[in-house]
A and B are shown apart, each in its own frame.
Chain A
Amino acid sequence: MDRSILLGPLLLRPLLLGPALIRPPLIRPPPARSHFRGGGFAPVAHRWIGAAVFVLLIALAEIGTRQGWITSLTLPRPSDVLETFGELYSSGLLWTHLSVSLMRLLVGAALGASFGVAVGVMIGLFSYVRAGLVPLTAALFPIPKIALLPLFVIWFGIDEGSKYALIAFGTFTPTVVATYGAVDNVDRSLIRMGQSFNLSWFSIVRKIVLPGAMPGILSGLRISLAIAIILLVAAEMLGAEHGIGAYILEAGSLYDLERLFAGVAILSLLGVGMSAVISLIERRLLNWRQ
Chain B
Amino acid sequence: MDIRLSGVSHSYDDFEVLRDISLEIPSGRIVCIVGPSGCGKSTLLRFIGGLEQPSKGEVLQIGSPPADCLNPLTYIFQDFALLPWRSVRGNVSLVLEDHGIRGARAEAIITDVLTRTKLSDFANALPKQLSGGMKQRVAIARALAVNPAVMLMDEPLSALDSQTRELLMDDLISLWTRTPFTAVYVTHNLAEAVRLGHSIVVMSRRPGEIREVVHLDKPLDQRQYGDSDLEEQQKYLWQLMREEARAADAELVHV
* Residue ranges of A at the interface with B (Cβ–Cβ < 8 Å): 189-190, 192-193, 195-200, 203, 207-208, 211-212, 286-290
| Residues of chain A with a CB closer than 8 A to B146's CB | 197
Q: A192-B51, A193-B81, A199-B98 are in contact. List 19 more A-B contacts (CB 8 A).
A: A190-B83, A193-B77, A196-B51, A196-B71, A196-B74, A197-B71, A197-B74, A197-B95, A197-B98, A197-B146, A198-B98, A203-B98, A207-B94, A212-B85, A287-B126, A288-B84, A288-B85, A289-B84, A290-B128
Chain B's interface size range is 20 to 34
User: When A192-B51, A193-B75 are in contact, do A200 and B98 touch as well, CB less than 8 Å?
Assistant: yes
Residue contacts A-B, CB under 8 angstroms, 5 given: A193-B75, A199-B95, A211-B85, A288-B86, A288-B127
- CB of B57 within 8 Å of the partner chain: no
* Residue ranges of B at the interface with A (Cβ–Cβ < 8 Å): 49, 51, 70-71, 73-75, 77, 79, 81, 83-86, 94-95, 97-98, 126-128, 142, 146
B44 smallest CB distance to A (angstroms): 15
| Residues of chain A with a CB closer than 8 A to B75's CB | 193, 196
| Residues of chain A with a CB closer than 8 A to B98's CB | 197-200, 203
A87 smallest CB distance to B (angstroms): 49
| Residues of chain B with a CB closer than 8 A to A190's CB | 81, 83
Which of B51, B79, B83, B126 meets A208, CB within 8 Å? B83
Which of A195, A200, A289 meets B128, CB within 8 Å? A289
Q: Are B126 and A203 in contact (CB under 8 A)?
A: no
Residue of A nearest to B87 (CB): A288
Residue of A nearest to B139 (CB): A193
| Residues of chain B with a CB closer than 8 A to A287's CB | 126
User: When A198-B71, A290-B128 are in contact, do A189 and B81 touch as well, CB less than 8 Å?
Assistant: yes
| Residues of chain A with a CB closer than 8 A to B83's CB | 190, 207-208, 211
| Residues of chain B with a CB closer than 8 A to A200's CB | 98
| Residues of chain A with a CB closer than 8 A to B95's CB | 197, 199
Residue of B nearest to A202 (CB): B98
